[in-house]
Amino acid sequence: MKKIIVVYYSKKGSNKYLAGKISKSLSCESEEIKPWMNIFLLFLMNIHLGIRPLKLKIEDYDTVILCGPIWMGKLIPPLRSFITKYFSKINKMIFITCCGSTDAKRDEKFGYGLVFKEVEGILNNKCIICQAFPVGLVLPDDKKEDADAFMKTHLNDENFEGEIQERFDSFIKKVNELGR
Ligand SMILES: Cc1cc2nc3c(=O)[nH]c(=O)nc-3n(C[C@H](O)[C@H](O)[C@H](O)COP(=O)(O)O)c2cc1C
């Protein structure tokens, strides 16, 4: 069985960037989740049409790293659809997000903590790691809590350094240690 695949959804590019960095660091394949229609509009209207079938066979992989943003404190429809559609084919899953919420606010209404609890609840013992990469980690201290600043900031080669790089390195180390 092949080891790891990265599956991601990204609207503005940060989660795509993160997914790309992970697949490069782990030398593994990746595939983008593609919803049937422009899902943001549908998300606002609370309509979910599901996702297109993936090309890669999820059951061929030991671990899926699922990566995507958080909107309005929710597990967003493309990520939820992926989990529901492929549940029986997922062996183990790692859930990661580049989101706006800071670590300090993780358990608030729009924090990543509630989404992690939901993912762990759905996947039960198949979910082995949940990890956040708040976009504020690439912002200066006085902008970390500034919603306007983090909404306008996207991960890229220029800003991916310091705290976020350290978090990324320890995440990759943890994933590499899983197989030992
Ligand atoms: C409409 C909207 C709602 C959002 N709501 C949240 C939220 O509730 N919690 C959070 O942590 N981030 C929230 N964010 C921030 C995104 O999760 C963040 O910008 C993420 O990095 C975007 O990922 P992408 O560039 O891959 O699309 C929201 C962004 C948008 C556009």
pLDDT tens for 94-106 read: 999 999 999 999 9
Tens of pLDDT along the chain (180 residues) come to 569 999 999 999 999 999 999 999 999 999 999 998 876 778 888 788 889 999 999 999 999 999 999 999 999 999 999 999 999 999 999 999 999 999 999 999 999 999 999 999 999 999 999 999 999 999 998 998 888 998 999 999 999 999 999 999 999 999 999 875
Please state, in angstroms and rounded to a whole number, the distance separating the CA atoms of residues 116 and 126. Answer: 13
Q: What is the fold of 2-178?
A: Rossmann fold (3.40.50)
For the question of whether the overall pTM of this predicted structure is more than 0.85, the answer is: yes
Is the beta carbon of 69 within 6 A of some atom in ligand 1? yes
DSSP helix/strand/coil, 6 = strand
Contacts of 93 (CB under 8 A, 6+ apart): 63, 64, 65, 66, 83, 119, 123, 126, 127, 128
Mean pLDDT for the chain? 94
Domain extent listing, the chain: 2-178
pLDDT tens for 105-140 read: 999 999 999 999 999 999 999 999 999 999 999 999
Name which residue sits closest to atom 2 of ligand 1, judged by CA.
Answer: 71
Is the beta carbon of 71 within 6 A of some atom in ligand 1? yes
Which mutation among 32, 41, 99 tests ligand 1's pocket best, with the greatest number of atoms within 8 A of CB?
99
Name which residue sits closest to atom 3 of ligand 1, judged by CA.
Answer: 71
Distance 11 CA to ligand 1 centre (A): 9
How is 98-166 classified by DSSP, letter by letter? --S--STTTTSTTSHHHHHHHHHHHHGGGEEEEEE--GGGGS-GGGTT-HHHHHH----TTT--THHHH
Strand partners, 129: 94
Which atom of ligand 1 is nearest the CA belonging to 98? 21
101: its two tokens = 């919420």
Strand partners, 74: 71
